[in-house]
Chain A
Amino acid sequence: MLESATTSTTIDLLWVVIIGTGALLALAVSLIASLYISQRRYVAAQQEKMMALQESESRFRNLVENINDIYYICSADGNIVYGSPNLFSRSGYTEVEVLGTSYIRLIAREDRRGVVNHYLQRIADGTLDTTHEFRARQKNGNTVWVEQTTRILRNQAGVVTGFRNVVRDITERKRDGRILAEQERFLRTIIEVTPECVKLLDADGNLISMNPAGLAMIEADSLEQVSGKPVDQLITPPHRKQFTALIRAVFEGNDGTLEFEIIGMKGTRRWLETHAVPLYNERGNVVALLGITRDTTERRKAEEIRRNLTKRIIAAQESERKRIAFELHDSIGQLLSSIKFRLHDSFKRTASPYGDRDMMTEIDSLLEKTIQEIRRVSQNLRPSVLDDFGLPSAVRSMCEEFTQRTAIQVELFIPETLNRFTPEVELALFRIIQETLMNVEKHSGATSLSVIFEQYNSSFRVSVRDNGKGFNPDLLREKAYKMRGIGLESIRERAASVGASVDIASSVGAGAEIIIRIPVNGASNINILRQESHSLEDNTQ
């Protein structure tokens, strides 16, 4: 019984050992197996990462080796630890000569100190990325301008661990920059020395820039004195609106020319003529008004003198004509009339044969014609009707006489409410119309013409239009044409002497039109034109 129990205990213990050992081994094996499996997965994942990294590195290397720029890496002490193939092909050095050596040897000697100082400063102030331009030295001794962009690598403590550099050859850009700088210097010199004012204005009319000639014109001591300030304060009040309109037109993309008067900063009055154009930026937007302005004061003075001189000549001429007209009419005309009467009387008293009567009648007729001709010449030299009844009557009389003499039909329109002008203006207008009719008679071959007077609020306009053969106005500029005696220049001069302007419109085969405009109460030509257009619009409506 005891032996049986001992055997049973032995078997139980044996089973405990076997099962327990098996369980422990199974546990250990399971632990190791689970580690093994997780590690296999880890390894697989790592391999994938490695492959991805290798692929990425391959792409990066491919990029680095094929870009036009040079890429190189330096250690913290500035020694080159990696360089893209460009580094060696461009510098002329081999890998053995460059790798492990300082980057400073690749910098031109004269720029080394500057480059080192630049990077020391950037390292000190904690900069991450920096760009610097300097001259690099090639193995053959040549230097090239480069732009080096550097990422300064730091560890978590901020200590520099290395430098990644991208280097770009900017020699061409530098060369272009120098050319541009030279061109700019050339243009600046022209602008600085030109006697005309060159200025830039913004859209509000504030001065952006002005050359010394311009500063002298406005009597400014320096650009700072007037920079950013509105220039229209210098312009006399009558011209300010026109100047503002010019600025607006330029910023809408149009060119413009304006003559105006300014009062300089030291009180001097000047007449200026400016030609303004829009200054565009790269996107095509107008960023400023570029104005070229010249001082026309002297020219205007000369014109004024000439105009006065012309006026005086015309006045002297008119005075002489008047005197001759009086002489002809009152002296020679009277004498001829007296001769005619006395001859008539003498003939009655000494009655003679019929043959003498015929002779007498013929002499009488000739005397009458002579008296009429003297009256006509006298009338042309100084129409008394102009002095006595004014311009409308004088023009009407002249037109009637013109039609009678030339058979050219004249359509005359004169408003009933036409204002009277000064005698000088009326005489000038009369002479201009007279000259124009003479031209029509001599050159146009017209069969009819119209003379139209138009009265506006601040201006007066006379137009003479014919249906003749016309002419090319460009030819008027040619001296030879002027020599043919059309007299258009004398028309212009006479008009200018009383402040009027003359416009001539014609083309071959389409007749011609001469328009004379006179400002009333000092209005300028621009105002005249605007009012004319308004009147036309009113008439249309």
Chain B
Amino acid sequence: MNISTLFIFSTVISLVPIIISFLFWNKQPKELRILAFYLSLGLMFSIAMWILGSQQINNLWMMHLFTPIQFGLLMWIFSFWFEGPIRSVALLSIPIFTLFWVIMLLFFESFTQFNTYTRPVEALFFIVVAGYMLYKTNKEDAETIFRMPRFWVASGTLIYFSGMILLYAVSNNLLAMSMETLRMVWLTIQTSSQIMSNLLFIGGFLCLSPRLHLQQ
């Protein structure tokens, strides 16, 4: 399978949770609607970046722009599943990260290069948050976690950022060495992680379906 085919497959897979979400839009909780919005936005950014990249136009500024949006939307989603002071910290982290992103962009990063500081920090942050969420969900033991969207969303987030964190950190180094190598590695790892996380997000959207409950 070549890179283009993999990207197309990944894009199609990304459409599935979005379509499912729109099918059950009114029956979904708010956090899943935000997730659907985030996935839609991410898909549009990916397509736009793909188009720009295929025309040899620098598209890294879009990645810069998407970083605080991604952080803000995901953290907003997770904040619904936290309680008390942790929820406040989660919400407070959004402007703090945005500030961090601005500072990094102004002093250490460039729109024409990969944001190798903010993206790994973001990834590390979400690996911790998703891991904690999985731990918390499993510990509560009130009912089966398969019926909880937060299990599926946290799993998808953990998979995605675990796959991307190293790539974010070394992407400029790879770019300096070989554009083709970077392109191959980036798309391979990014699309693979995205496919896995999107499959898990599908679980998040379907877990509230009564039919699925009966099967469980």
Contact = CB atoms under 8 A, between A and B. Distances in A.
B141 interface: yes
B170 A6 contact: no
A17 B144 contact: no
Interface string B34-72: 000000000000000000000000000000000000000
A13 B173 contact: yes
Interface string A1-38: 00000100110011011101100110111011001001
A21 B146 CA distance: 26
In this complex, which of A18, A32, A42, A46 has the most chain B Cβ atoms within 10 angstroms of its Cβ?
Answer: A32
Interface stretch (B9-17, B75-83, B177-185): B177-185
A25 B177 contact: no
B162 A25 contact: yes
Contacts of A42: 141, 144
A43 B200 CA distance: 19
Contact of A32 (B134, B141, B163, B185): B134
Contacts of A39: 138, 144-146
Contact of B185 (A18, A25, A38): A18
Contacts of A46: 144
A10 B177 contact: yes
B166 A21 contact: yes
B177 A16 contact: no
Contacts of B146: 39, 43
Given A31-B131, A35-B145, A43-B146, A13 B177 contact: yes
Contacts of A43: 144, 146, 216
Contacts of B141: 42
Contacts of A31: 131, 134, 158
A16 B138 CA distance: 32
Contacts of B177: 6, 9-10, 13
A25 B192 CA distance: 10
A32 B138 contact: no
B144 A10 contact: no
A32 B203 CA distance: 13
Contact of B170 (A13, A29, A32): A13
Nearest to B145: A39
Contacts of A21: 162-167, 189
A2 to B, nearest CB: 13
A24 B165 contact: yes
A444 B91 CA distance: 134
Contact of A35 (B134, B162, B185, B189): B134
A17 B159 contact: no
B193 interface: yes
B118 interface: no
A32 B28 CA distance: 24
Nearest to A19: B166
A21 B177 CA distance: 19
A17 B167 contact: yes
Contacts of B158: 28, 31-32
Contacts of A35: 134, 138, 145, 151, 155
Interface string A145-156: 000000000000
A9 B185 CA distance: 15
A38 B134 contact: no
B159 A16 contact: no
Contacts of B138: 35, 38-39
Contacts of A18: 185, 189
Interface residues of A, number: 23
Interface string B129-157: 00100100010010011100001000100
Given A9-B177, A13-B173, A35-B138, A24 B162 contact: yes
Nearest to B164: A21
B174 interface: yes
A9 B181 CA distance: 13
B170 to A, nearest CB: 6
Nearest to A27: B162
A200 to B, nearest CB: 68
A14 B144 contact: no
A422 B200 CA distance: 132
A25 B145 contact: no
Contacts of A9: 177
Nearest to B143: A46
B132 to A, nearest CB: 12
B104 to A, nearest CB: 22
In this complex, which of A6, A18, A24, A29 has the most chain B Cβ atoms within 10 angstroms of its Cβ?
Answer: A24
Contacts of B174: 10, 13-14, 17
Contacts of B178: 10
Nearest to B146: A39
Interface string A387-400: 00000000000000
Contacts of A27: 162
B144 to A, nearest CB: 5
A284 B140 CA distance: 64
Contact of A16 (B144, B151, B170): B170
Contacts of B155: 32, 35
B163 to A, nearest CB: 5
Nearest to A39: B145
B162 A16 contact: no
Nearest to B130: A28
A24 B173 CA distance: 20
B55 to A, nearest CB: 26
Contact of A10 (B134, B151, B165, B181): B181
Contact of A17 (B151, B185, B193): B185
Contacts of A13: 170, 173-174, 177
Nearest to A9: B177
Contacts of A10: 174, 177-178, 181
B177 to A, nearest CB: 4
A10 to B, nearest CB: 4
Nearest to B123: A24
A149 to B, nearest CB: 35
A17 B166 contact: yes
Nearest to A47: B216
Interface string B187-216: 001000100100010000000000000001
A32 B138 CA distance: 11
Contacts of B185: 14, 17-18
Contacts of A6: 177
10 contacts: A10-B177, A10-B178, A17-B167, A20-B166, A21-B189, A25-B162, A31-B158, A35-B155, A39-B145, A43-B144
**CB-CB nearest 3 A-B residue pairs:** A28-B162, A10-B177, A24-B162
Interface of B: 127, 131, 134, 138, 141, 144-146, 151, 155, 158-159, 162-167, 170, 173-174, 177-178, 181, 185, 189, 193, 196, 200, 216
Given A14-B185, A17-B166, A28-B159, 8 more contacts: A9-B177, A10-B177, A14-B174, A17-B170, A18-B185, A27-B162, A31-B131, A35-B151
